[in-house]
Structure 1
Amino acid sequence: MCCKSVFCYAFVAVFALSCSFFLSGCQTADSATPSYLQWQSVSINFKGPDTSETANINPFTDYRLWVTFSNGRTQKVVRGFYAADGNAANSGAREGNVWRVRFSPPQPGVWQYEATMYTGNDIALNNDPSAGKTISLKNSSGRFEVKPGSNASSGFFALGQLYTQGRYYKTAGNDSYWLKGGTNSPENLLGFKDFDQTYRITGQDRDGEAQSGTQIHHFSPHRQDWKPGDPTWQDGKGKNIIGMMNYLAQMGMNSAYMLTLNIEGDGKDVWPYTSPTSFNRFDVSKLAQWNILFEHMQSLGIAVHIVIQETENERMLDGGDTGPMRRLYFDELIARFGHLPGLIWNLGEENGPAEFSPDAQTDSQRIAMANYFKHHDPYEHPVIIHTHSTPDLKDKILTPLLGLKALDGLSFQVNHREQVNAEMQKWIKKSESFGKPWAITMDEIGEWMEGAKTDDVDPTHDSLRRHALWGSIMAGGAGVEWYFGAHQAHNDLTAEDLRSRHNLWSQTSIALNFFNTYTRYWAMTPINKQVSNPNVYAYAELGKHYVMYLPAGETTTLTVEDANSYTLFWFDPVNGGALKPHREVLSGKQITLPKAPSNNDWVALISAVSKQ
């Protein structure tokens, strides 16, 4: 029987195959072979030891559930997790005998699975298959059919897994490039009142940081954006944060950045544990509620950008080593959320030492974290790291990471927006020279106290649009997320209404649509030296297409490789709309652009005329 809660369960003997609310329907008890769609969430429940979050035998350390999924030559070993009563998101349960694995099938066909469970002291931290005592699981094996994604799929459940190829992201379901546009704030997005056991330990009020106040997030302005049929939990909780994600998707955004651990950090209101002082006990109901949010984001095409720690707490677990508490934390994140196809792991906000945060992880500790995620995440989601803002700190911290196979990119922070284009070009070239190109996204724009101001203070966002948005993409960057600053209304810790930056989301969507529609940006390269005006950014697929961003009232001369004939189209980066054709064909190796249609900012798109 189908139900209206987040998961629909059809129990077969002592285990249950469940389908998320995104699937086309539930499997009935008489289904010989359950059927799912590629990339969508498959949940399998097992009846295991009856225990609790607080049991003397710790269910998070002293039990280990591994499930091997096989389809022909493809095999993935996925870690399971303790799920209390199997419906903890709604019941708030802390005890029960349900153990669960979540799986995202990467290819169609008939999949077989085989589950094995072990018990023993700290067995969860032991990867030796022979270690521990085996616990018998009835019906521990089974099969299901996976069909190709169809129109019934949406968002990343249709796009497929997000991964990096060179300096860009791609989606596996359609083999297409993916430019990011989204929100970097509030960083404590998960410090939300409707998540179980969520509260602020203490308020944040220190120089150089946003003031957090005492109230955690309500996101009340986004209640209007929740729609009938959208998920909730516990009789209607979650509508505000679900509505906020609906608003982001409506504005064309496809990514949201969030911390999963800010104990000792700025917000002090987000952690996956049963308490902020116990690092080996996890809050099952809270994490199940996070998953409801994350899966809804996936259905909307919004990537879940998980930032595992802050600069203030990067040595809180195991002194910064990838030791037992950090490994346990990573394993729980991977087990509970690794099935999300649109997922990015970020190794830490402002990772590494700085004057304001000297007690930091070392080079070897950063490398160990990256390697752990790549080795233990069965899907090998992108692994990136958030940078400090100044060039000198980037040089010091990032240089030892160049060429690291486990690190796929950078979550860029730049203190002066005018430097974004040059800074991004520098690190793209450096990473390429070491044989491991980084996908770099412009995720936190400075200065720290300003960031992206609200529309009522900065309605046009001219400098952000020119330098951080178009300037980063035209440097070869893979997209942007917007940081709200520390000394703004709706700041990086207190933002309640994302409509406070409505104009910025609109301009971001306009930029993404331009590059996705009119260019092959992945085949383009910065050519700023080929334009006469130093204030103009230029980006080109050499000999074919040239894009130039011209600040208000300015023009330039472009030097091209061949004296071909070229068509010119104008594009409005503020308001979007159709391309505006210039009547005359341009020619020669030195092309002086005519006056733009107005004294506002314009983008020039020049294309070589095909030779007959």
Structure 2
Amino acid sequence: MNDIKQRIIKSLSLFLLVTATSNVLADTKIQLTGELQKWHAISLTFDGPETPEDAEYNPFVNYRLNVEFTHKTSGKSYTVPGYFAADGDAANTGATAGNKWRVNFSADELGTWDWRATFRKGRFVAVSNKDLTGAAAGFMDNQTGSFEIKATDKSYPDFRQRGRLEYINQPYLRFAQTGEYFIKAGPDAPENLLSYVDFDGTFHNDGHKDELVKTWQAHEKDWNKGDPTWQKGKGKALIGALNYLSEKGMNSISFLTLNIIGDDQNVFPYVDYDTLDRMDISKLAQWNIVFTHAQKKGLFLHFKTAEVENQGLLDNGGLGLQRQLYYRELIARFGHHLALNWNMGEENGEWVPNHKSMPQSTIQRLAMAKYFHNNDPYNHHVVIHNGNDYSDLTGNDSYYTGASVQTSRKDFSQVHGAVKRLREWPLINGRPFAVSVDEPGDAQNSLVPDSVDPKHDNARKNGLWGALTAGAWGTEWYFGYAHPHSDLTAQDWRSRDLFWDQAKYALDFFKIAGVPYHKGKNLDNLSNGHWVLGEEGQFYIVFVKDASKEAKLNIYFGKADYSVQWYNPRLGGELQTGTVKKVTVTQNRTSYKKYERHDLGAPPSDKNQDWVVLVKRK
């Protein structure tokens, strides 16, 4: 009986009906929904103008809802963009019309938050930053209210337990609540993850590569009772796929949100393939159900907003009406999620012989990042994927905070050097790039299915550990087009099941190592050909590709003992003891000597295999 009472109380807290007073329209009813807890998604839904998606007076372009949320004690303030939500339940009803206008917010402080809404009407007002006080549209304009935020009751891996993932002028991202740093691992494929038969929209049968629309049927068995669905049971297979990845210990997914004239051509936020200024409200609401579940399962969201083929689709690559509207809608509908980054373009720039659309220039590349800097209230991590290199994006006029790296060799041998180069770039604007390797390998092969290569030795050694020991904050894995379950056709993540184990072992290592790896830099020069990430005089993570080759390490002078432990990257498990348990630095630094060379011994077994050696100051 107590359980029933608790559920009733919780349900009441999820749906509050608030009466606010407007200077223009009195007694307007406002729905405040969501668990009123720190880091949780809270939505304010207002009664606004009644309109359909296809109204002659475009509801996406000619209205603008913003809500300012201010913490009463700290004074911290966020201005959050809102959006047209049709009937308020379009994910389930499929509605294309209504009078509901919504804003999503995630509070990062306990206590009282006050809010104030502004609503404007006018030609192109959605992409204007001007106040336009003479263009008030009535309805919810100037309405105010408040709510109380309590501590979250969620647990790991739910990101609400850890807080928002933030770029803090370091090469690694950090959770605001727990202060822990994050290393990601997961699939980069399929890039058309959202090309899914259970989503609403015209893409199923519009004549644009309809055969690539996915069912994700192999993962329907992974859906669990109580997991979300929409429209009386739709979505189970894709939700199940997310469950599978989370249960394998992965913590990241990647997807395009716009691939018109791209490789797949089935993913776009719009009502149809040829319309670039009207959103498909029910489809986007269904996307949000998927993204919300991913965050609960501890899966980072890598939003890839464009690909090389369509970088010039919107405004010829510029920052006009179409692009600003697209970005505003992404921020408004999905920016409240805690762990994500915005990728401005996959394989971006002028670098292929026959571009399908206008390649973007440096000015345009910089403008995209600046838009998110100015308009994303949470300042999520902003990256771009290399087609062109990143050398034009490091100046004082750049708001990029990271690089999304692609390489092109089948054996992944470029990965380590690519990350080292970017981590060592001069900090022209004081913001070091947080570097992730999101497409290691070549286009044809990259991470092949287990049936082709069950050991994945090169992927593990050169791709995974090559990236991490060079200072990358994570990896994502592209599926080559020359094999089944490719970047476009994959809809069964079990095709790489054995590799997800190896990626999880890498994540496990950084949890059990007990070192501040976020302070680490590449220190290859201190070893005899092995890869090293470390903080001099404190810890060294040495990746030994072949343990038959002795491992030696130059350790920074300063009298101290260091433990020596070995970790098996192929099988995971605990740290183990090899033939050398500890090394002792016996001297202090002199004017002409800085290092003392030490033999790290041999691993406890499998002396011809790869191992990770953790050398840590006691």
Normalising by structure 1, report the TM-score.
0.90
Q: Distance in 2 between matches of 1:577 and 1:142?
A: 52
Deviation by residue 1:446-467 (Cα, 9 ceiling, x = unmatched): 2111110111111111111111
Q: Which residue in 2 is equivalent to 1:159?
A: 162
Deviation by residue 1:85-138 (Cα, 9 ceiling, x = unmatched): 000000000011111111111211111111121211222122211255322226
Q: Which residue in 1 is equivalent to 2:33?
A: 19
Q: Which residue in 1 is equivalent to 2:405?
A: 412
Counterpart among 83, 88, 91 of residue 90 in structure 2: 88
Q: Distance in 2 between matches of 1:272 and 1:70?
A: 31
Partner SS, residue 481 of structure 2? coil
Q: Does 1:71 align with 2:55?
A: no
Q: Distance in 2 between matches of 1:248 and 1:357?
A: 37
Counterpart among 128, 135, 138 of residue 136 in structure 1: 138
Q: Which residue in 2 is equivalent to 1:46?
A: 46
Q: Which residue in 2 is equivalent to 1:384?
A: 383
* Superposed counterparts of 1:182-201, under 5 Å: 182-197=186-201, 198-199=203-204
Deviation at 1:17, TM superposition (A): 3.1
Q: Which residue in 1 is equivalent to 2:100?
A: 98
Q: Distance in 1 between matches of 2:468 and 2:325?
A: 37
Q: What number of residue pairs does the alignment pair up? A: 578
Q: 1:12 to 1:607 in 2, by over 3 A?
A: closer
Q: Does 1:488 align with 2:483?
A: yes
Deviation by residue 1:230-280 (Cα, 9 ceiling, x = unmatched): 110000001111111111111111111110000000010100000111111
Deviation at 1:356, TM superposition (A): 4.2
Given residue 147 of structure 2, which amino acid in structure 1 is its aligned partner? Answer: F
Q: Distance in 2 between matches of 1:119 and 1:450?
A: 51
Contact 1:424 1:477 in 2 (8 A): yes
Partner SS, residue 136 of structure 2? strand
Deviation at 1:592, TM superposition (A): 2.3
Q: Distance in 1 between matches of 2:171 and 2:104?
A: 30
Q: Which residue in 2 is equivalent to 1:546?
A: 540
Given residue 541 of structure 1, which amino acid in structure 2 is its aligned partner? Answer: E
Q: 1:427 to 1:179 in 2, by over 3 A?
A: same
Contact 1:61 1:280 in 2 (8 A): yes
Q: Which residue in 1 is equivalent to 2:470?
A: 475
Q: Which residue in 2 is equivalent to 1:283?
A: 280
Deviates more, 1:361-370 or 1:167-176: 167-176
Contact 1:202 1:268 in 2 (8 A): no
Contact 1:428 1:440 in 2 (8 A): yes
Q: Which residue in 2 is equivalent to 1:272?
A: 269
Q: Which residue in 1 is equivalent to 2:611?
A: 602
Q: Which residue in 2 is equivalent to 1:209?
A: none
Deviation at 1:583, TM superposition (A): 5.4
Partner SS, residue 573 of structure 1? coil
Q: Distance in 2 between matches of 1:401 and 1:292?
A: 36
* Superposed counterparts of 1:302-317, under 5 Å: 302-317=299-314
Partner SS, residue 469 of structure 1? helix
Q: Distance in 2 between matches of 1:37 and 1:472?
A: 37
Given residue 439 of structure 2, which amino acid in structure 1 is its aligned partner? Answer: E
Contact 2:362 2:392 in 1 (8 A): no
Q: 1:132 to 1:181 in 2, by over 3 A?
A: farther
Contact 1:123 1:132 in 2 (8 A): no
Deviation at 1:8, TM superposition (A): 5.6
Partner SS, residue 414 of structure 2? helix
Q: 1:467 to 1:287 in 2, by over 3 A?
A: same
Q: Which residue in 2 is equivalent to 1:341?
A: 338
Q: Distance in 2 between matches of 1:200 and 1:509?
A: 39
Q: Which residue in 2 is equivalent to 1:149?
A: 152
* Superposed counterparts of 1:388-403, under 5 Å: 388=387, 393-394=388-389, 397-403=390-396
Q: Distance in 2 between matches of 1:594 and 1:500?
A: 37
Contact 1:431 1:438 in 2 (8 A): no
Q: Distance in 2 between matches of 1:4 and 1:243?
A: 26
Deviation at 1:564, TM superposition (A): 4.6
Q: Distance in 2 between matches of 1:10 and 1:2?
A: 13
Counterpart among 556, 569, 573 of residue 573 in structure 1: 569
Q: Distance in 2 between matches of 1:523 and 1:282?
A: 43
Q: Does 1:560 align with 2:563?
A: no
Contact 1:2 1:8 in 2 (8 A): no
Contact 1:524 1:539 in 2 (8 A): yes
Q: 1:403 to 1:133 in 2, by over 3 A?
A: closer
Given residue 593 of structure 1, which amino acid in structure 2 is its aligned partner? Answer: L
Contact 1:83 1:100 in 2 (8 A): yes
Q: Which residue in 2 is equivalent to 1:180?
A: 184
Q: Which residue in 1 is equivalent to 2:295?
A: 298
Q: Distance in 1 between matches of 2:333 and 2:272?
A: 18
Q: Distance in 2 between matches of 1:142 and 1:168?
A: 37
Deviation at 1:338, TM superposition (A): 1.1
Deviates more, 1:423-432 or 1:323-332: 423-432
Contact 1:403 1:431 in 2 (8 A): no
Q: Distance in 2 between matches of 1:287 and 1:337?
A: 9
Deviation at 1:182, TM superposition (A): 1.5
Q: Distance in 2 between matches of 1:74 and 1:107?
A: 9
Normalising by structure 2, report the TM-score.
0.89
Partner SS, residue 312 of structure 1? helix
Deviates more, 1:152-161 or 1:462-471: 152-161
Deviation at 1:433, TM superposition (A): 5.4
Given residue 305 of structure 1, which amino acid in structure 2 is its aligned partner? Answer: H
Deviation at 1:507, TM superposition (A): 0.8
Q: Does 1:228 align with 2:225?
A: yes
Deviates more, 1:515-524 or 1:164-173: 515-524
Contact 1:119 1:132 in 2 (8 A): no
Q: Distance in 2 between matches of 1:336 and 1:249?
A: 24
Q: Distance in 1 between matches of 2:156 and 2:250?
A: 19
Deviation at 1:19, TM superposition (A): 3.3
Contact 1:232 1:238 in 2 (8 A): yes
Deviation at 1:565, TM superposition (A): 4.0
Given residue 162 of structure 1, which amino acid in structure 2 is its aligned partner? Answer: L
Q: Does 1:217 align with 2:214?
A: yes
Q: 1:170 to 1:426 in 2, by over 3 A?
A: same
Q: Which residue in 2 is equivalent to 1:114?
A: 116
Deviation at 1:76, TM superposition (A): 1.3
Deviation at 1:524, TM superposition (A): 1.7
Runs of 5+ in structure 1 lacking a partner?
Answer: 24-35, 205-212
Q: 1:408 to 1:282 in 2, by over 3 A?
A: same
Q: Distance in 1 between matches of 2:211 and 2:119?
A: 43
Contact 1:526 1:539 in 2 (8 A): yes
Q: 1:312 to 1:459 in 2, by over 3 A?
A: same
Given residue 544 of structure 1, which amino acid in structure 2 is its aligned partner? Answer: Q
Q: Distance in 1 between matches of 2:32 and 2:494?
A: 36
Contact 1:200 1:268 in 2 (8 A): no
Deviation at 1:398, TM superposition (A): 3.2
Q: Distance in 1 between matches of 2:94 and 2:8?
A: 21
Q: Which residue in 2 is equivalent to 1:429?
A: 424
Q: 1:351 to 1:47 in 2, by over 3 A?
A: same
Q: 1:4 to 1:445 in 2, by over 3 A?
A: farther
Deviation by residue 1:397-441 (Cα, 9 ceiling, x = unmatched): 533444555111011111132121121111111153552200000
Q: Distance in 2 between matches of 1:88 and 1:51?
A: 14
Q: 1:300 to 1:452 in 2, by over 3 A?
A: same
Contact 2:304 2:345 in 1 (8 A): yes
Deviation at 1:196, TM superposition (A): 0.3
Runs of 5+ in structure 2 lacking a partner?
Answer: 1-6, 20-27, 586-595
Q: Distance in 1 between matches of 2:601 and 2:393?
A: 46
Deviation at 1:504, TM superposition (A): 1.3
Q: Which residue in 1 is equivalent to 2:593?
A: none
Q: Which residue in 2 is equivalent to 1:29?
A: none
Deviates more, 1:173-182 or 1:563-572: 563-572
Q: C-alpha root-mean-square deviation of aligned residues, in Å?
A: 2.2
Q: Distance in 1 between matches of 2:420 and 2:397?
A: 19
